[in-house]
Structure 1
Amino acid sequence: MTVNDHPLLQGELRLAGRLDGRFFDLLAALALTGSLQKAAKAAGYSYKGAWLVLDAAQALTHAPLVAKATGGAGGGGTRLTVEGDALLAAWRELQSRHAAFLHEQAAWLATQPALDALLKRMSMKTTARNQFFGRIAGVNPGPATTTVRVALDGGQEVTASLTTPAAHELNVKTGKEALALVKSSEVVLVTDFGGYKLSARNQLAGTVSRVERGAVSSLIGLTLPGGMVVTASVTNDSVDGLGLTVGQPATAVFKAYAVMLAVRD
């Protein structure tokens, strides 16, 4: 178990709220090279910036952290003082303890499957506004195309259509956790079918819960039974034409090929 298994479980170590890892990289490089110019470059500071951060740190510690050496066989340079060495050693020990603490919490999370799964879902970053979590309820493979049904927590289903090679690569199997990703621009809202049936596989009925109007288009939130929300990007003309208002029943419609599937290993 590593902390990286839980990208949301992170903690940045700072001393006095200001001295961070980059500052201590500067001290470590300085101890190694004896040259502030080389140490600044290694830690990503300018020479002037390195002196400024050292001055700020010394104002916090009320003790000199570096000392200049002049002349001698080495031609002078900059070294850590006793206080600087002690501070760097303390930082390294605190880093070790901090990492051990995070590993301990990650191990505890592994014993909480529901919370663990929630955090892992949250760790995925994507521009798709609609991210439907569920489990694969059915797989229908074909020579070129495979359709996958994902059962959502609210009782609805989302169907995705993907190439059969992609389905093999994802190793889609019934019962596996999956995320169905759909861009808001792919969602069509229907308020009245007028006696017609649509060919789109995904038709999720709900209630308009949000109308966020922009200069050209609006974001419409449609709450499904169970509380899941579908977001659609709709032109303002369409909003006006449909008379979309909060509390109005509507159906979110999108084709199966518009669904991108993400499956946990």
Structure 2
Amino acid sequence: MLDGELRLAGRLDARFFALLAAIDGSGSINRAARAAGYSYKGAWLVLETAANLSAAPLLERATGGKGGGGTRLTDAGRALLAAWAGLQRAHTDFLRAQEALLIQQPAIAGLLRRIAMKTTARNQFAGTVRAIEAGPVTTALTLALAGGQEIVATMTTAAAERLQAAVGKEAIALVKSSAVVLVTDFAGYRLSARNQFAGTVSRVERGAVSSLVGLTLPGGAVLTASVTNDAIDALGIAVFQPATAVVKAYSVMVAMQA
């Protein structure tokens, strides 16, 4: 759950020390630069900067031999590399210790785990499984969300079994913004979609072709819809306007911890 970048003097990072280690292993700055992700010129630049600031040379030229010589680390260079390895171990131990403390705080640990999941779905809502309607082919999960709303997700029964879905289990509902339909006036009609969330338009981010519309729900959660600019203009969608977000149950994906 925790990570952090370790740097020395604000400049010497993991890539620089990967370069040193590759030089130590290959005896070639050219090969080491490729291994560490530097250009040859970039490698020389960072090495020269470090050398200019070091009290003792970090590199030395090796002459002769089967390979015709090359470059290797001096004792000072190896000492710097060894110090970095020790600091990395201490840094990792520190992060793991802090992570252990966080795990003892379930609310914070749960938040970090949920945020750690990386997905392109713009709408992500934490909830708890309230009900399961299992059928031979499809299963519907009802999640109770933190804001007091409920959202229904329909999936294959096999998928529900893979998730090991159970009442009371924590879950995340994911909905693509393109799967959200905004309704500003039902005109007396009812829709078949199971998920309908009434709220207030809180932002409209207009793009070249489409806009992102944020709908704030009771409780403060924001549901984002991707709407064409033509639809924005036709419906006159604007901030502070009431609207309802409609999402079909099969458009809701569910994530659960393994």
- TM-score, shorter chain, exceeding 0.5: yes
Provide TM-score, normalisation by structure 2: 0.93
Say if 1:195 and 1:27 are closer, same or farther in 2 by CA, change over 3 A.
same
Residue in structure 1 matched with residue 132 of structure 2 by the alignment: 139
Deviation at 1:211, TM superposition (A): 1.6
- The aligned amino acid for 2:103 is A
Residue in structure 2 matched with residue 174 of structure 1 by the alignment: 167
Residue in structure 2 matched with residue 121 of structure 1 by the alignment: 114
Residue in structure 2 matched with residue 19 of structure 1 by the alignment: 12
Q: Percent identity?
A: 66
Residues 176-230 of structure 1 show CA distances to partners (whole Å, capped at 9, x for unaligned) of 1111111111111112222211110001111111122222222111111000011
Residue in structure 1 matched with residue 254 of structure 2 by the alignment: 261
SS at 1:118 equivalent: helix
Deviates more, 1:149-158 or 1:209-218: 209-218
Deviation at 1:126, TM superposition (A): 1.4
Is residue 203 of structure 2 the alignment partner of residue 214 of structure 1?
Answer: no
RMSD value over aligned CA atoms? Answer: 1.8
Residue in structure 2 matched with residue 51 of structure 1 by the alignment: 44
Deviates more, 1:174-183 or 1:72-81: 72-81
Say if 1:171 and 1:73 are closer, same or farther in 2 by CA, change over 3 A.
closer
Say if 1:154 and 1:75 are closer, same or farther in 2 by CA, change over 3 A.
same
Deviation at 1:168, TM superposition (A): 0.6
SS at 2:45 equivalent: helix
Q: How many residues align?
A: 258
Provide TM-score, normalisation by structure 1: 0.90
Q: Is the 8 A contact 1:176 1:264 kept in 2?
A: no
Deviation at 1:258, TM superposition (A): 0.9
Distance 2:3 2:161 in 1: 34
Distance 1:50 1:217 in 2: 44
Is residue 98 of structure 2 the alignment partner of residue 105 of structure 1?
Answer: yes
Deviation at 1:241, TM superposition (A): 2.4
For structure 2, the residue ranges without an aligned partner over 5 or more in a row are none
Deviation at 1:46, TM superposition (A): 4.5
Deviation at 1:254, TM superposition (A): 1.2
For structure 1, the residue ranges without an aligned partner over 5 or more in a row are 1-5
Say if 1:146 and 1:54 are closer, same or farther in 2 by CA, change over 3 A.
same
SS at 1:174 equivalent: coil
Distance 1:217 1:168 in 2: 37
Say if 1:114 and 1:215 are closer, same or farther in 2 by CA, change over 3 A.
same
SS at 1:79 equivalent: strand
Structure 1 consecutive aligned stretches of length 4 or more whose deviation exceeds 4 Å: 72-75
Deviation at 1:19, TM superposition (A): 1.3
Residue in structure 2 matched with residue 3 of structure 1 by the alignment: none
Deviation at 1:81, TM superposition (A): 1.7
Deviates more, 1:23-32 or 1:89-98: 23-32
Q: Is the 8 A contact 1:160 1:259 kept in 2?
A: yes
- The aligned amino acid for 2:247 is F
